[in-house]
Amino acid sequence: MADAAESGTGTAGSAQRVLVAADKFKGSLTAVEVAERVTAGLRRVVPELVVEALPVADGGDGTVAAAVAAGFERREVRVTGPLGDEVTAAYALRDGTAVVEMAEASGLQRLPEGVFAPLTASTYGSGELLRAALDAGARSIVFGVGGSATTDGGAGMLSALGARFLTAGGEPVAPGGGGLAELASADLSGLDPRLSSVKFVLASDVDNPLTGPKGAPAVYGPQKGASPEDVETLDAALAHFAKVLEGAVGPRAAEYAASPGAGAAGGIGYGALLLGAAFRPGIEVMLDVLGFAPALERADLVITGEGSLDRQTLHGKAPAGVAAAARAAGKEVVAVCGRLALPPEVLGRAGIRRAYALTDLEPDVAVCIADAGPILERTAERIASDFLS
């Protein structure tokens, strides 16, 4: 990957310095690998081109990797996975700022292939990750949420941080969203006191409330293996969870449940709001944390992208955030992707001059996924020919 501070002299064309700020191609290439492949392709056409690589993420899986690529230190810790087994998860730390990715501890990536646990998967390990960041002296925490295996409203996370959720018999409720149906009392007085003195940001690309037709169970439950009956069970359990919390912490429990971001990552957003987190669009937070503004100022051309450029991209995904910031700075933006499902006029309104899809060179999607790297290099050669020579 090109170093962030790499120097050199551009050759032909008006764009002398290129900033590659793309997200991962899910299932094919990490954001770091995308930057490496784009850089290689560009330099095949313009060998002395100055390329600055800044892999980006929107708060979901890949967020810690993007922070590490930007110079954060990777820290690993053993935590509880979504099914209760121990896993090794990572967070990133630099100058008192921690980037914590809930998917590292509680994501779908932590489940065995083909195994789902919509009613019982827990966010307990995410709470342990947050505690590890506090133990390391973090004064500011960016909590990226997305890609979760869980729908427990953040109850597991809160438990790991000192909250107590008990049944009528005085026993801890069972892990997962399903267990919250048996919740009789909640006590948040034992929460880690350090949480009150840190700047805590909830970074997410979704703004769903906790429950209801646009809530976490209804919208995201099915992708975690929830049947229609499971969705009903989870929605009722999370509504009950919020009601019991009203008795423990007052009206703000209901206010947070209806707030944007509460439904993020199976409702862990709700738990984060209860901890005092401020909700912000994930890509905006990550661009700040990664130092995007100064990198953008140095650039003449910006290349962004992700696996699929589609309608979802326009709603808080990394390429849209990069393009919006670049357009505001008067910089030209092109995008790379595996698959393109947006017409030129929509791309233009999003601030993207042109998009290059791997399927333009290889129509077979299976081949594109399997050979994404070499095809992306050839795609970058086309960008160099069109914009840099």
**Residues 6+ positions from 250 with CB-CB distance below 8 Å:** none
Does 312 lie in the same domain as 178? Answer: no
The string of pLDDT tens digits covering residues 51-78 is 999 999 999 889 999 999 999 999 999 9
Q: Report the candidate in 141, 254, 263 with the shortest Cα–Cα distance to residue 192.
A: 141
255 Cβ contact list (under 8 Å, min separation 6): none
Residues 226 and 298 placed together within one structural domain of the fold: no
| pLDDT score, position 316 | 86
Q: Does the structure show a pLDDT above 80 at 6?
A: no
Asked if residue 245 belongs to a domain, the reply is yes
Q: What's the mean pLDDT in 221-247?
A: 98
Rounded CA separation 82/102 (Å): 11
33 and 118 in a single domain? The answer is: no
**CB 337, CB 305: distance < 8 Å:** yes
271-294 per-position pLDDT tens digit: 999 999 999 999 999 999 999 999
Of 126, 176, 158, 165, nearest to 243 by C-alpha is 165
Q: Which residue has the tokens 């890609």?
A: 147
Residue 188 · residue 274 · CB < 8 Å: yes
DSSP class of residue 172 equals B
What torsion, rounded to 10 degrees, do the Cα atoms 256, 205, 111, 289 define? -100
- Going by pLDDT thresholds of 50, 70 and 90, the confidence category of residue 11 is very low
Do 33 and 173 have their domain in common?
no
SS3 69: helix
Residue 6 included in any domain: no
Q: What is the pLDDT of residue 389?
A: 81
Q: What's the rounded Cα separation, in Å, for the pair 38 and 380? A: 5
Residues 303 and 227 in one domain: no
Whether the CA torsion 6, 8, 9, 13 is positive or negative: it is negative
CB-CB contact of 181 with 236 (8 Å): yes
7 located within any domain: no
- Going by their DSSP bridges, the two strands 86-94 and 97-101 should be labelled as antiparallel
- Final residue belonging to a domain, choices 262, 283, 304: 283
Reference 99, options 63, 60, 62; nearest CA is 63
Q: Which of 212, 314, 222, 206 is nearest to 268 (CA)?
A: 206
Is residue 140 in a domain?
yes
pLDDT in tens, 94-133: 999 999 999 999 999 999 999 999 999 999 999 999 999 9
Give tens-digit pLDDT for 291-300: 999 999 999 9
Give me the phi and psi of 238, to 5 degrees please: -70, -35
pLDDT value of residue 10: 37
Contact between residue 59 and residue 356 where contact means Cβ atoms under 8 Å apart: no
Domain span holding position 43:
17-54+291-387
269: helix, coil or strand?
A: helix
- 275 and 302 fall within a common domain: no
> Which whole number is the average pLDDT over 86-90?
98
Same domain for 184 and 78:
yes
- CATH number at 86 reads 3.90.1510.10
- The mean per-residue pLDDT over the stretch 296-305 comes to 97
Q: How far apart are CA 54 and CA 64, in angstroms?
A: 13
Residues 82 and 202 grouped into a single domain:
yes
Banded pLDDT at 329 (limits 50, 70, 90): very high
Decide which of 283, 316, 344 is a domain's last residue: 283
- The span from the CA of 223 to the CA of 240, in Å, is 23
* Three-state secondary-structure class, residue 52: strand
Res. 157: pLDDT tops 70 = yes
- 180 inside domain: yes
d(CA 36, CA 15): 19
Looking at the structure, tell me whether residues 48 and 124 fall in a common domain: no
Q: What is the pLDDT of residues 29-52, one digit of tens each?
A: 999 999 999 999 999 999 999 999
DSSP, residue by residue, 199-224: EEEEEES----SSSTTSHHHHHSGGG
Tell whether 27 and 73 lie within a shared domain.
Answer: no
CA gap 66, 62 in Å, rounded: 6
1 part of a folded domain? no
Q: Are 50 and 7 contacting, i.e. CB atoms less than 8 angstroms apart?
A: yes
Task: Judge contact between 155 and 269, C-beta under 8 A.
Answer: no
Q: Which two tokens stand for residue 210?
A: 């906790």
Q: Are residues 382 and 344 in the same domain?
A: yes
Does the residue 8 lie in any domain? no
Going along the chain, which residue ranges are E strands? 17-20, 50-53, 73-80, 86-94, 97-101, 140-144, 164-166, 185-187, 199-204, 278-281, 301-309, 332-340, 354-357
The continuous run of DSSP H or E covering 144 comes out as strand 140-144
pLDDT of residue 242: 98
Residue 21 lies in a domain: yes
Number of independent structural domains in the chain: 2
Of the candidates 57, 39, 59, 58, the one whose C-alpha atom is nearest the C-alpha of residue 49 is: 39
The share of the chain scoring above pLDDT 90, in percent, equals 94
Q: What is the CATH number of the domain that holds 351?
A: 3.40.50.10350
Check whether residue 22 and residue 94 sit in a common domain. no
* Domain finish residue from 266, 283, 300: 283
Residue 268 near residue 274, CB atoms below 8 Å: no
Q: Give the residue from 175, 94, 83 showing the smallest Cα distance to 138.
A: 94
Taking all residues of the chain, what is their mean pLDDT, rounded to a whole number?
94
- By the 8 A CB rule, do 55 and 69 touch? yes
